[in-house]
Structure 1
Amino acid sequence: MKLALILNVINPRLGGVLIRGEKGTAKSTTVRALAGLVPNLNVVNLPVSATEDRVVGALDIEHAIKTGEKKFEPGLLAAADGHILYIDEINLLDDHIVDVLLDAAAMGVNTVEREGISYSHPSRFILVGTMNPEEGDLRPQLLDRFGLSVEIGGERDVQERAQVIRRRMDYERDPGAFVKQYALEQEQMLNQILQARNRLDQVRIPDDMLELAASIGIALEVEGHRSDITLIKTAATLAAWHGQETVNPAHMQEAAYLVLPHRMRRKPFEEAGGMEQKLQGVLNSAGSVQAR
């Protein structure tokens, strides 16, 4: 979850993150913590009860007719420009609103049209949705529009789970001291993010990695080409994050686990398993070709 969020901060063109997991697993906390890490990065919350006008903004038609001037009341998409647009329980959001959000995220522009009058403004944001799968899922068409997807659960290791409790209680006892304790680690992570941003455009993507992306998409039976492109973008962002200049199969493998699970075709009642074996087969074949 942390890695998926960081990659989107490095490269906002990845297409956002869908975080699926049970209640009480720090989904919201992690998103807000990321905004606290990166300067000038805010979290704009979109409630599931939001109306379309509240999301996209509203045009004052009466004012336009009387004066001939457009009067636009900005919505949440305007407020989110350059920031994180966060939707908790996104699976409960009206499908039409989700469509509008994903279109704006893909285009980087929000356009409002009313009675033959239109208004457009920049809306480049990192879309982050969280949800509990037990409360219903998103339509497959909408799942595919999210760049990355991760699934999280409560910690099952006793020692790690105790550490979660300990840290939470330490924070509540003295928030200032707790934050100070991790200040150096936070600063180091921010520097790594900023360096990765600067390095991203210089990352080289060899032709054989493009072919590997295509091979992975075919082997895992994902529909369309969006997944292939997102896979390459994510692999390049991972290379930048790891301080490397060229995309390699290890980046592709790491990216695949973020990009492909929510896009794989499944038959009714079929579990998400099988990806590991298919992916490893493609990577092994690619390694054999490179060796020759």
Structure 2
Amino acid sequence: MRYAFPFSAIVGQHRMKQAMILTAVDPGIGGVLVFGDRGTGKSTAVRALAALLPPIQAVEGSATNAESPEDVAEWDRMAGTEMVDKPTPVIDLPLGATEDRVVGALDIERAITHGEKAFEPGLLARANRGYLYIDEVNLLEDHIVDLLLDVAQSGENVIEREGLSVRHDARFVFVGSGNPEEGELRPQLLDRFGLSVEVRSPSDIEERIEVIRRRAAFESNPEAFVSKWAGDDAAIRDDILRARKALGDVETGTPALRDCAELCLALGSDGLRGELTLLRTARALAALEDDGEVTRKHLRDVAPMALSHRLRRDPLDEAGSTARVERLLHDVLA
């Protein structure tokens, strides 16, 4: 049996873990982009969070993790009628993946000879209701980026070949990671990520020692290590489930809306996606912290991760995007 490293056992990286928890509370936030050094636990955190989350209820054998028998597509012939528990899916999208592997492939010959739709589902079908993880997302080929942008916008994957058409739900949380030294991300894709965080290798010697100690303990006896941290993971899971239920009751007053608008105007962020994401993330944090209303405290806490990747470049300002957001937070939300 393969064990995932416990989410609660990850040392440091508070911002990365907080961003992933918030997208688990409200997947509509739009995913997480994690940029930084190699070996800082980016992929470990994604798989650890998915292992921590409760299983999803899906139709047995469904290639798209259909929520009910009524949602099963006509081409999904392996699907049954019983509902079963499935682990939250985490699907890796490799850099060299072909278009057919990502979106799925239609069997034209079978359609012509037998008059039936034969569809081989792709990675997007398997990721439905889960996570789609792209390592080195900044190196992804442009035509795959365009496909992902279309699906992320609509929540539906549509495949059309030779007059045939197949569609299925493709709602997932985007998680991308990469090293900024290896290339920049296309602005269109960058804007689709709800949150962005920067991670760095720990500079504190004691923290580095603790990382080594925990990793060695996990590799030596995974079962015992996972069991040791099971209680902490269960507490995080309970917090996420409680926050999901409370999310609809979190109030957003006019002062919070005004703060969002003033902050985004001061930052010069393009469009209104910044305000909407900032507000949605702040509501998720309020629900997580068992607060009934969005306050400036919530906005201050999430603004760097919700807005830092939406700023226009300023060649006269050498400060990083996160530093610029934090500086304006002090000015606007003093």
TM-score (norm 1): 0.93
Give the letter for the 2:324 counterpart.
G
Name the residue aligned to 1:93.
140
Within the alignment, does 1:214 sit opposite 2:261 as a pair? yes
Aligned residues: 284
Name the residue aligned to 1:70.
117
Deviation at 1:268, TM superposition (A): 4.1
Answer whether contact 2:89 2:126 (CA < 8 A) is retained. Answer: no
Within the alignment, does 1:278 sit opposite 2:310 as a pair? no
1:1-292 correspondence runs (5 A)? 1-39=16-54, 40-268=87-315, 270-272=318-320, 273-284=323-334
Cα distance in 2 between the residues matched to 1:102 and 1:196 = 29
Name the residue aligned to 2:9.
none
Between the aligned residues of both structures, percent identity stands at: 52
Structure 2 runs not aligned, ≥5 long: 1-15, 55-86
Cα distance in 1 between the residues matched to 2:308 and 2:149 = 19
Cα distance in 1 between the residues matched to 2:304 and 2:183 = 22
Summarize deviations over 1:149-178 as a string: whole Å, max 9, x none.
Answer: 100010001111111111111212221221
Deviates more, 1:267-276 or 1:114-123: 267-276
Cα distance in 2 between the residues matched to 1:64 and 1:231 = 47
Deviation at 1:65, TM superposition (A): 3.1
Summarize deviations over 1:249-289 as a string: whole Å, max 9, x none.
Answer: 111111211111111111348432332221221112xxxxx
Summarize deviations over 1:73-123 as a string: whole Å, max 9, x none.
Answer: 110000001111111111111122122223222321111122232211011
Cα distance in 2 between the residues matched to 1:205 and 1:250 = 13
Deviation at 1:179, TM superposition (A): 1.1
Name the residue aligned to 1:289.
none
Answer whether contact 2:104 2:159 (CA < 8 A) is retained. Answer: yes
Deviation at 1:210, TM superposition (A): 1.3
Give the letter for the 2:160 counterpart.
E
Deviates more, 1:270-279 or 1:216-225: 270-279
Answer whether contact 1:105 1:126 (CA < 8 A) is retained. Answer: no
Structure 1 runs not aligned, ≥5 long: 285-292
Name the residue aligned to 2:58.
none
The SS at the match of 2:202 is coil
The SS at the match of 1:110 is strand
Cα distance in 2 between the residues matched to 1:249 and 1:278 = 14
Instruction: Name the structure with the higher helix share.
Output: 1
RMSD, aligned CA? 1.4
TM-score (norm 2): 0.82
Deviation at 1:219, TM superposition (A): 0.4
Q: Which runs of 4+ in 1 moved over 6 A?
A: none
